[in-house]
Amino acid sequence: MLYLEQRKPRWLFETYITRSKDLKQWFTSPANPVLQAQDLDEGINASDPEVIEYKNNTYIYFAVGDQRTWMNVKRARFPGAISQFFKAWYKQPGIPDPGTLKIPSGP
């Protein structure tokens, strides 16, 4: 899953990736963030990704801006299939999310 996160104390919004096999325990990628505003024309935001595969390339269209007055759409390319793109974020084991919901195992 790709999601937007604002890490304090900075006022920046970045796209992160996490995954789960059971929707109970989640693991974030040690390589996060997936998208971050880096260039002068990207403001403080890199969000709302759309991921598509075309001719064995993965394209990510995403929004950049200042969260208040302007935005733009950019595109990034990964040279491979979507499955390869997502696997590439977990070359090392994922980091357990300490906020993961813990469900009791019975009485």
Name 72's Cβ contacts closer than 8 Å, sequence gap at least 6.
41, 42, 63, 64, 65
Q: Is position 92 within any domain?
A: yes
User: Residue 27 half-sphere exposure, CB side, CA atoms within 13 Å?
Assistant: 15
Q: Is position 105 within any domain?
A: no
Q: Is position 42 within any domain?
A: yes
Quick one: pLDDT at residue 98? Answer: 78
Q: Which domain holds residue 10?
A: 2-96
Q: Is position 107 within any domain?
A: no
Q: Is position 104 within any domain?
A: no
This prediction has a pTM of 0.84
Give the integer Cα–Cα distance in Å for 44 and 66: 5
- Residue 107 or 32, more confident: 32
> How does pLDDT run across 22-58, given as a tens digit for each residue?
998 999 999 999 999 998 899 999 999 999 999 999 9
Q: How many domains does the chain have?
A: 1
